[in-house]
Chains A and B, each alone.
Chain A
């Protein structure tokens, strides 16, 4: 049993790689924006035009939505629902990335769900490689997350003494 959920981190290089990949995907599918969210509901990154969207809240609700649907899948005997689709004037396509992250794509009538779905497979493969890179680093015990606050006890105390 672990002490709690493992912390993880990603570097500016990881960040550049995922944004480049997502930008290409947006351009290929003519979608409005894409959000990458971790399973706990924290926003990893957003690419495209997210103006007018409260991305923090969006990320939280997406993770909750996805988790709830995951459980619904199990109740009907499915392992999981690999993707979700919410249809409207603006539509949302949600897909699992290696059971670590969730990719959310927002699009409108300038494209089609078929095209988004078609290009999604290759995008998910690319992101899965990135997820593996980020999390394998953590498993080796060399995660920068472990070092960032090392020896910062005094600074932490000070932060909460105000």
Chain B
């Protein structure tokens, strides 16, 4: 939403992913690190045991562009499977998505279930996730049982087929040297993957890289 009267660009970013994956931790870290004058309150609608019940919400200003203040509204969704009704509500009118995956080997099934749920909920709103700002964060990289990134990429970010012929050219991944976001497979098919980031959200590693990447994609979608 662009407000020409107050000269603001407002965008909505949703952190999605399985329960206990670190979505709320991402927002808590951002809240703790950005200057108080550039952020609002961190609102958590959580249970007594601090599990997200409905959502967490944090508004942050990321700077000015063309004289307009860029204001990002960050939301998390409840990760637990049975909260799908409220999870879906939060996706309404979303501008960008961050999928926070749990790197632990034993959480792969939960990651996959959540990713499928994200695709399903988005398509119920008529949104195509492959055509909008979308990044993946592999969290908890510091844990000894973290699966290799290549394994996570293969399962959660295998890529989708590029249909638009104008995109049939290699697009290097600006965040990982030697890797590509768009490339041609040996079979001739062109695929595109979402940018990904490794993170240890509890220490803040990778949190701002993820936020900057998705915010940039959201603004570029308007450009």
Contact = CB atoms under 8 A, between A and B. Distances in A.
Interface of A: 1-5, 7-12, 15-16, 38-42, 44-45, 54, 56-57, 60-61, 64, 67-68, 71, 144-146, 148-153, 155-157, 159-160, 162
A60 B126 contact: no
B89 A71 contact: yes
B132 A145 contact: no
A78 B62 CA distance: 41
A145 B2 contact: yes
A14 B61 CA distance: 24
Contact of A5 (B66, B127, B216): B127
Interface of B: 1-5, 9-10, 12, 40-41, 43, 45, 54-55, 57, 59, 62-63, 65-66, 68, 70, 73, 85-86, 89-90, 92-95, 123, 125-128, 131-133, 212, 215-216, 219-223
A60 B73 CA distance: 9
B128 A4 contact: yes
A1 B123 contact: yes
A156 B216 contact: yes
A3 B131 contact: yes
B3 A9 contact: yes
Contacts of A157: 216
Contact of B4 (A12, A57, A146, A150): A12
Contacts, number: 140
A39 B133 CA distance: 20
Contacts of B85: 71
A4 to B, nearest CB: 4
B5 A4 contact: no
A42 B12 contact: yes
B40 A54 contact: yes
A2 B65 contact: no
B contact patch SS: mixed
B64 to A, nearest CB: 8
4 tightest A-B contacts by CB? Answer: A40-B93, A4-B132, A9-B2, A15-B5
A40 to B, nearest CB: 3
Nearest to A55: B40
Contacts of A39: 92-93
Contacts of A54: 40-41
B92 A2 contact: no
B131 A60 contact: no
Contacts of B1: 7-9, 38, 40, 42, 44
Contacts of A145: 2, 222
A40 B71 CA distance: 14
Contacts of B86: 68
Given A144-B4, A145-B2, A149-B65, A5 B223 contact: no
Contact of A41 (B2, B73, B123, B132): B73
B125 to A, nearest CB: 8
Contacts of A40: 1, 12, 73, 92-94
B93 A57 contact: no
Contacts of B94: 4-5, 40
A46 B123 CA distance: 33
Given A5-B95, A56-B40, A64 B123 contact: no
B223 A10 contact: no
A60 B131 CA distance: 26
